[in-house]
């Protein structure tokens, strides 16, 4: 007789899991549950395109025609529009923000306004799709700051990560997975393509105690500060005997380190004077992944302070990011403090 308490003896769909989490909040009206479910649907729709990327000619420029004479969209545009179109009319959102759009996205006047704010990076690492490397979608959900009912504003989007009510990502890899947290642990679901369902495969994910990897674009070493250089030397030569793994696709690098144990760095560098703060975006990339990392027992910092405590000042603000296994990641703050005056 199987142990009925073991998750492997049950088949848990993502819908069931969202609903079970909602039951723990008797005051909940179900808006967050439905929003998460729509994001899972967006993930399935985007996944169905990524697996055909080479065939469907969707790597070409927007407006090109495919062999059927249909207008083709680039995959990142498709992903952006899919998430927007699933969420603009539901009455759950006050506004949205997308890494693909310069300004925040208001809900059209004709639709009701809700209490949540959705920020998303529709297809992170999209340059990798041309060479069949994993890419991902990242999402972040906040409660609005402005009073209910009216249109959402930029102020609703510019919130520190510690205000997140949910965050997650979908990775389009050898299988498609959705990983998310609402502050009650990190849970991973694998898409069963035959059924079209995300099924719980990784409940309550915790970063492994013994880390294996560090991930950084080592080519930028000449542009790093002394503190970052010393920190990376420590990662290379320390007692953990880490291996280097770097894909250059944030979701894939983060996901590997979450499951296998490790830390990811994208430091500030002197390569591009126009981008002194590094490449990654606080609201669309760093904050949601930091929430997941902390919920899995890890840590995320910009080298000075916890990512989740940074007060954003603009929608596309960039930050240095060090994220992963806590004991590997937190020391960067000491190195930066000691060597970077
Ligand atoms: P893009 O979406 O333009 O392909 O950028 C991807 C991001 C992120 O996913 C990854 O961690 C980082 O860029 C890699 O940048 P480098 O090539 O500079 O290492």
pLDDT single digits (tens) 247-292: 999 999 999 999 999 999 999 988 877 777 889 999 999 999 999 9
Nearest to 97 by CA among 281, 291, 293, 268: 281
> Are 18 and 143 in the same domain?
yes
Alpha-carbon distance of 28 to 12, in angstroms, equals 21
> Are 271 and 241 in the same domain?
yes
Kindly indicate the confidence band of residue 56, based on its pLDDT and cuts at 50, 70 and 90: low
Q: Separation of 185 CA from ligand 1 center, angstroms?
A: 27
pLDDT of residue 267: 97
Domain end position, chosen among 151, 173, 202: 202
CATH number at residue 32: 3.30.540.10
Encode pLDDT of 304-313 as tens digits. 999 999 999 9
Q: Separation of 247 CA from ligand 1 center, angstroms?
A: 9
Q: Lowest mean pLDDT: which of 67-71, 295-299, 318-322?
A: 67-71
> Are 58 and 172 in the same domain?
yes
* Within-domain flag for 270: yes
> Are 322 and 293 in the same domain?
yes
Alpha-carbon distance of 179 to 296, in angstroms, equals 11
> Mean of the per-residue pLDDT values for the chain?
91
* Within-domain flag for 116: yes
Encode pLDDT of 105-144 as tens digits. 999 999 999 999 999 999 998 778 878 899 999 999 999 9
* Within-domain flag for 207: no
pLDDT of residue 331: 98
Is residue 60 predicted with pLDDT exceeding 50?
no
Is residue 28 predicted with pLDDT exceeding 90?
no
* Within-domain flag for 208: no
Q: Which domain holds residue 327?
A: 213-339
> Are 79 and 50 in the same domain?
yes
> Are 114 and 245 in the same domain?
no
Nearest to 335 by CA among 241, 280, 249, 263: 263
> Are 39 and 123 in the same domain?
yes
Is residue 301 predicted with pLDDT exceeding 90?
yes
Q: Separation of 113 CA from ligand 1 center, angstroms?
A: 34
* Structure tokens given for 26: 């008797």
- Best substitution site from 248, 267, 285 to test ligand 1's pocket, by max atoms within 8 Å of Cβ? 248
Kindly indicate the confidence band of residue 3, based on its pLDDT and cuts at 50, 70 and 90: very low
> Are 121 and 225 in the same domain?
no
Atom of ligand 1 nearest to the CA of 127: 4
Nearest to 174 by CA among 137, 132, 124: 132
Domain end position, chosen among 202, 231, 264: 202
Is residue 327 predicted with pLDDT exceeding 60?
yes
3-state secondary structure of 39: helix
> Are 176 and 222 in the same domain?
no
Atom of ligand 1 nearest to the CA of 123: 2
Encode pLDDT of 207-239 as tens digits. 999 999 999 999 999 999 999 999 999 999 988
Alpha-carbon distance of 259 to 220, in angstroms, equals 26
- Asked if residue 125 has its Cβ within 6 Å of ligand 1, the reply is yes
> Are 195 and 244 in the same domain?
no
CATH number at residue 288: 3.40.190.80
- Asked if residue 87 has its Cβ within 6 Å of ligand 1, the reply is no
Is residue 66 predicted with pLDDT exceeding 50?
no
What pTM was estimated for this model as a whole? 0.93
> Are 273 and 191 in the same domain?
no
* Within-domain flag for 129: yes
- Asked if residue 248 has its Cβ within 6 Å of ligand 1, the reply is yes
* Structure tokens given for 321: 């990011």
Is residue 73 predicted with pLDDT exceeding 70?
no
Mention every residue, 6+ apart, whose C-beta is less than 8 A from residue 94: 107, 113, 114, 115, 116, 117, 144, 146, 151, 152, 156
> Are 10 and 104 in the same domain?
yes
Cβ count within 10 A of residue 145: 15
pLDDT of residue 276: 76
- Asked if residue 123 has its Cβ within 6 Å of ligand 1, the reply is no
- Best substitution site from 50, 250, 272 to test ligand 1's pocket, by max atoms within 8 Å of Cβ? 250
- Asked if residue 134 has its Cβ within 6 Å of ligand 1, the reply is no
Nearest to 104 by CA among 308, 315, 285, 299: 315
- Asked if residue 54 has its Cβ within 6 Å of ligand 1, the reply is no
Kindly indicate the confidence band of residue 5, based on its pLDDT and cuts at 50, 70 and 90: low
Q: Separation of 245 CA from ligand 1 center, angstroms?
A: 14
Alpha-carbon distance of 302 to 150, in angstroms, equals 35
Domain end position, chosen among 147, 168, 202: 202
* Within-domain flag for 268: yes
The DSSP line for 170-183 is: EEESSSEEEEEESS
Q: Are strands 262-266 and 186-192 parallel, antiparallel or unpaired?
A: unpaired
Domain count, the chain: 2
- Asked if residue 215 has its Cβ within 6 Å of ligand 1, the reply is no
């Amino acid at each position: 007789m199987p142990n009925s308490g073991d998750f492997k003896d049950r088949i848990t769909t993502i819908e069931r899991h969202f609903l079970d989490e909602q039951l723990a909040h008797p005051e909940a009206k179900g808006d967050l549950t439905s929003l998460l479910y729509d994001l899972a649907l967006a993930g399935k729709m985007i996944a169905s395109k990524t697996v055909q990327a080479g065939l469907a000619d969707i790597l070409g420029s927007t407006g090109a025609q495919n062999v059927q004479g249909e207008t083709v969209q680039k995959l990142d545009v498709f992903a952006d529009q899919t998430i927007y179109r699933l969420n603009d009319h539901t009455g759950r959102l006050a506004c949205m923000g997308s890494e693909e759009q310069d300004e925040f996205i208001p809900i059209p006047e004709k639709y009701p306004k809700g209490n949540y704010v959705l920020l998303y990076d529709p297809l992170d690492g999209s340059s990798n799709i041309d060479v069949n490397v994993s890419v991902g979608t990242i999402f972040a959900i906040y409660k609005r700051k402005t009073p209910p009912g009216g249109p959402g504003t930029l102020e609703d989007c510019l919130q520190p990560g510690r205000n997140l009510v949910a965050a997650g990502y979908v990775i389009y890899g050898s299988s498609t997975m959705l990983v998310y947290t609402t502050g009650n642990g990190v849970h991973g679901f694998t898409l069963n393509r035959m059924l079209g369902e995300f099924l719980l495969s990784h409940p309550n994910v915790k970063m492994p105690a013994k880390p294996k990897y560090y991930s950084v674009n080592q080519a930028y070493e000449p542009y790093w500060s002394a503190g970052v250089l010393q920190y990376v030397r420590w990662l290379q030569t320390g007692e953990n005997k880490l291996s280097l793994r770097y894909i250059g696709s944030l979701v894939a690098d983060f996901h590997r380190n979450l499951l296998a144990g490790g830390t990811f760095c994208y430091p500030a560098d002197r390569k591009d004077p126009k981008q002194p703060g590094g490449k990654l975006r606080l609201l669309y990339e760093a904050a949601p992944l930091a929430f997941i990392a902390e919920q899995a027992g890890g840590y995320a910092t910009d080298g000075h302070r916890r990512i989740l405590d940074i007060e954003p000042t603009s929608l596309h603000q960039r930050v240095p990011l060090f994220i992963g296994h806590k004991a590997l990641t937190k020391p960067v703050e000491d190195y930066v403090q000691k060597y970077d005056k």
